[in-house]
Chain A
Amino acid sequence: MSFRLTSRRSAVASLLMPLALLVAIPHASAATLEEIQKRGYLVVATEDDFRPFEFVKDGKPTGFDNEMVEALKKYAKFEIRQEILPWTGILAGVATGKYDIAITAAIITKERAQSLDFTSPIADATHYYVKRKGDDSIKSIKDLNGKTVGVQAGSALLGRLPELKAMIEKEGGKMGKIVEYTSYPEAYQDLALKRTDYVVNTVINLKSLVAEKGAVFELGQPVSGKSYPAWAIKKGNADLLAYMNKFIAEQKANGTMPALQKKWFGESFTLPVTFTPEF
């Protein structure tokens, strides 16, 4: 009997050991610029379903951020290794040091700024709502009273819905039900299927949607103040941040970035070099 007990206890101990190790060893930090230059490559993470920033066409990554990655490949003296994965794993991967930088449209928020550093903004992306074309029950913010909204889970769009709530309440209404999706294609589909009444996303994404599916969707009004997407780097990696900001500044100056903005977003923007989020 005593043998059984000890063996069971040692069994549990041997299983907990690796877990204990995981906790005990401090998290491997993301590579500094010096380490990146020494080992000769930078690990970049991008998304695959956030048109027009990043998406996959005929099996090849394309969109604004992917063309910026192409420009970075020419600019950088080290190799660029790209990983393409869904939004769900991206920021966690940067925070744990798995990827050095997320070259995706991560909107700068107060909460994210606690664990991540952001580069200079890459676009001007005020949040708008989109509705079904021909849905006459929604004409202004006031009409969003009690309507069901679709938004991406874990997104800055979701995080800033309180702003919209305040706007609706100012008009004497109240915020309706909020439905969260893992990514936007599902949210648009549910809007088309009348499961939701409107979807909130950045004006850039929604303009791209309406340009493609103008018969189904119609752009509404802004539902937030200023909002800027940028690339995310692990907090405290100051050298890499400075390097990327220099890269962005140079792409602005040589006209590459405005041209890509015009190509993918339909307009180019005058953007601040740094942005401190209010939300």
Chain B
Amino acid sequence: MSHGDILAIFNGALTTLLLSAAGIALGLPIGLGLALLRWARVPVIAPIVAVYVSLLRATPLVTLLLLLFFALPNVGVPIGPLSAGVLALTMNTAAFNCEVWRASLMDFPKEQIEAAQSVGMRRGLRFRRIVFPQVLRTSLTGLINEMSLLIKVTPVLAVVGVVDITRAAQRIGAETYEPLPPFLVAVAIYIPIVFALVSVQRLIERRNLRLEAAA
């Protein structure tokens, strides 16, 4: 493995990070939005969301990606490998995030909402001040879990030509006929990425504990 090869894997790492970040940044709020639509039982839309989530949870990411990548141009939407990758990741992770958020929302104590209503708090304020901060806390573990899965599922995007960490490693193996060293480098890059994510989770959890103890 040459320096150029290592550089190529790091370029792949950049792609993996950017795609995962885009998927997480888009998938988190969309997931929350979908969960709220279902939680609030919005007529017509809530059942559509339910069907969407079931379909997306049942569709393998690679199938969804190939469908988007090859079918969208046929209906006049030109789409490149990177945008198809982000779209597929977002659609997929939003469905899973929706369920994590929804579970927390359903467990949310009704009495608190009734108490807020009794002092005349409006819906938006109720959500911002009372529901969201607590739901975020209970959802955190599930959400971080889904994020780490998302990072590790990015090699699937290689099928349409995205060069992530794993694909960059595979290319080097194909050139040198020595697949093991590049894969070891790849693993050595994935570990700190996911470790950083889990550390963020620990940090937030500890801060929450401190706040609770202080309260």
Contact = CB atoms under 8 A, between A and B. Distances in A.
Contacts of B181: none
Given A57-B4, A183-B174, A212-B177, A92 B44 contact: no
Nearest to B12: A59
B70 A92 contact: yes
A22 B7 contact: no
B106 interface: no
Interface string A60-94: 00000000000000000000000111101100110
Given A56-B175, A186-B179, A11 B2 contact: no
A184 B170 CA distance: 11
Interface stretch (B97-105, B156-164, B205-213): B156-164
Contacts of A55: 171, 174-175
B100 to A, nearest CB: 22
Interface in A172-204: 183-186, 188-189
Contacts of A209: 177
Given A89-B161, A92-B70, A183-B170, A57 B51 contact: no
- Name the residue among B55, B74, B167, B179 with the largest chain A CB count within 10 angstroms: B74
Contact of B160 (A3, A85, A97): A85
Interface residues of A, number: 44
A28 B52 contact: no
B49 to A, nearest CB: 9
Given A22-B75, A58-B2, A185-B173, A85 B161 contact: yes
Interface residues of B, number: 38
B5 interface: yes
Contacts of A85: 81, 158-161
B26 to A, nearest CB: 20
A188 B70 CA distance: 31
A185 B160 contact: no
Nearest to A95: B70
Nearest to B80: A83
Interface stretch (A46-54, A120-128, A140-148, A233-241): A46-54
Nearest to B7: A59
A114 interface: no
A152 to B, nearest CB: 12
Nearest to B9: A59
Dominant SS at the B interface? helix
A209 B52 CA distance: 48
A11 to B, nearest CB: 4
Contacts of A88: 159
B48 interface: yes
Contacts of A89: 66, 69, 159-161
B74 A49 contact: no
Contact of B174 (A4, A27, A51): A51
A112 interface: no
A48 B75 contact: no
Interface in A209-256: 209, 212-213
A185 B179 contact: yes
Contacts of B15: none
Nearest to A56: B171
A36 to B, nearest CB: 16
A183 to B, nearest CB: 7
Q: Which 7 pairs of residues, A with B, have the shortest CB-CB distance? A: A58-B4, A85-B161, A49-B174, A59-B8, A11-B48, A56-B171, A11-B47
Given A85-B158, A188-B177, 5 more contacts: A11-B47, A14-B48, A86-B167, A97-B73, A189-B173
